[in-house]
């Protein structure tokens, strides 16, 4: 269904190039549709749809803001920014899949249809703008992570439960009732973000052609975001979790595709590993003992490394609290004067406009 290689890591720069290439293919397909059906419409109909057609053509591009931020990141961090990290690559790969499946294939179906089919204009524009916004936010977050790297463990601990939002738990119990929410920008019909009425997180309601109930799936699977507010800041982005494997997703379309693969029982389904059709002897008796021992040693090494890193972080926090406690007013008055030199900021996030497309 997709031409993305999900097994091997991709460079963020190359993934962005693929997204831009898919936008170009979509635009060429859209021009084919115009050349085929615009001549068959009357002059009055063409005049009334001219602005709408131009809006579709303008939306089918990656945008100057994404290119500008990519150039700033290349100048500041070079190959490290071009490669990106796993979080950025996951979000960009999901956007590439959305352009392929929801934009290009939709336009291709309209062109190759034997009967005249109108293009879903609002659907195409909304999907294109959401893809650009997600790419821009992914690059912004990558820039911020490289600007202030943290010493967090490189692998999280095993997760056996997820703390869903209370509104999500309510929807999981009542799977038939309708629910209402507020949009982040009520006057922008092409902004698909909505606000959770309980935790105020922003949920990008990305349409998925294989999941008709995509909106309910997103709201009933999001995790509560602490310190979220009703503003338009992109830091209020939601996180979704699978109820089967407890894997978390930072992108709504990436989560929906995960659910879709599970429903169609594909090879990438998270349930294939625990399928009841497998026999225990078939799974374990044919395993290489040396390989099993190596996997167990790697898991033990990973957990020990994570525990050591967590201990170092706890010790650093304790030392910081002790230093703060020792700075009492009396000691500050008796201490000799010191020359404090302000640290020099070597890099700063470039002034990129907000995600108003």
Residue 226 has a pLDDT of: 67
pLDDT in tens, 189-220: 899 999 999 999 999 999 999 999 999 999 99
Span of 69-83, 223-237, 304-318 with lowest mean pLDDT:
223-237
Integer Cα distance of 268 and 49 in angstroms: 42
Mean pLDDT of the chain: 79
3-state secondary structure of 22: helix
Strands in 147-189 per DSSP E: 182-183
Residue 100 has a pLDDT of: 95
Write the CB contacts of 244 (distance below 8 Å, at least 6 apart in sequence).
262, 270, 271
Q: Which residue has the tokens 């890099």?
A: 347
3-state secondary structure of 305: helix
Q: How confident is the model at residue 319 (pLDDT cuts 50, 70, 90)?
A: confident
Residue 279 has a pLDDT of: 47
Contact 344, 128 (CB under 8 A): no
pLDDT at 343 over 50: no
3-state secondary structure of 195: strand
Residue 295 has a pLDDT of: 76
Contact 249, 239 (CB under 8 A): yes
Distances (CA, A) of 158 to 49, 299, 301, 312: 54, 11, 14, 20
Contact 75, 45 (CB under 8 A): no
Cross-sheet strand order for the sheet of 248-249: 222-223, 239-241, 248-249
Residue 298 has a pLDDT of: 79
* DSSP single-letter state for residue 235: G
pLDDT in tens, 255-302: 999 999 999 988 888 887 555 444 444 444 455 677 777 777 878 887
Considering only CA atoms, which of 96, 64, 93 is closest in space to residue 250? 93
Q: Which two tokens stand for residue 4?
A: 């993305």
pLDDT at 53 over 80: no
């Amino acid at each position: 269904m997709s031409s993305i290689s999900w097994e091997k890591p991709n460079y963020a720069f190359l993934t962005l190039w693929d997204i831009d290439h898919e936008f170009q293919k979509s635009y060429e397909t859209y021009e084919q549709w115009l050349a085929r059906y615009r001549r068959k419409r009357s002059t009055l109909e063409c005049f009334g749809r001219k602005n709408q057609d131009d809006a579709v053509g303008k939306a089918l591009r990656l945008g100057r803001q994404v290119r500008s931020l990519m150039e700033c990141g290349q100048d500041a961090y070079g190959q490290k920014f071009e490669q990106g990290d796993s979080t950025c690559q996951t979000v960009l790969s999901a956007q590439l899949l959305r352009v392929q499946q929801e934009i290009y294939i939709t336009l291709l179906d309209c062109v190759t249809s034997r009967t005249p089919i109108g293009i879903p204009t609002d659907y195409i524009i909304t999907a294109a703008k959401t893809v650009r916004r997600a790419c821009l936010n992914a690059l912004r977050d990558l820039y911020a992570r490289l600007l202030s790297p943290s010493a967090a463990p490189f692998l999280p601990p095993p997760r056996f439960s997820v703390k869903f939002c209370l509104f999500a738990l309510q929807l999981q119990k009542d799977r038939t009732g309708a629910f209402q929410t507020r949009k982040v920008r009520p006057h922008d019909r092409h902004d698909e973000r909505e606000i959770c009425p309980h935790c105020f997180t922003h949920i990008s309601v990305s349409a998925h052609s294989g999941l008709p109930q995509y909106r309910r799936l997103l709201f009933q699977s999001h995790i509560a975001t602490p310190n979220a507010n009703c503003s338009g800041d992109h830091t209020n982005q939601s996180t979704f979790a699978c109820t089967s494997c407890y894997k978390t997703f930072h992108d709504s379309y990436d989560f929906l595709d995960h659910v879709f693969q599970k429903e169609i029982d594909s090879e990438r389904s998270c349930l294939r590993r625990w399928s009841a059709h497998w026999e225990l002897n078939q799974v374990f008796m044919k395993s290489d003992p040396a390989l099993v021992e190596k996997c167990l040693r790697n898991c033990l090494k990973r957990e020990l490394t994570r525990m050591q890193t967590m201990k170092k972080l706890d010790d650093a926090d304790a030392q910081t609290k002790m230093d703060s406690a020792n700075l009492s007013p009396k000691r500050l008055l008796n201490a000799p004067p010191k020359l404090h030199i302000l640290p020099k900021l070597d890099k700063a996030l470039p002034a990129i406009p907000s995600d108003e497309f």
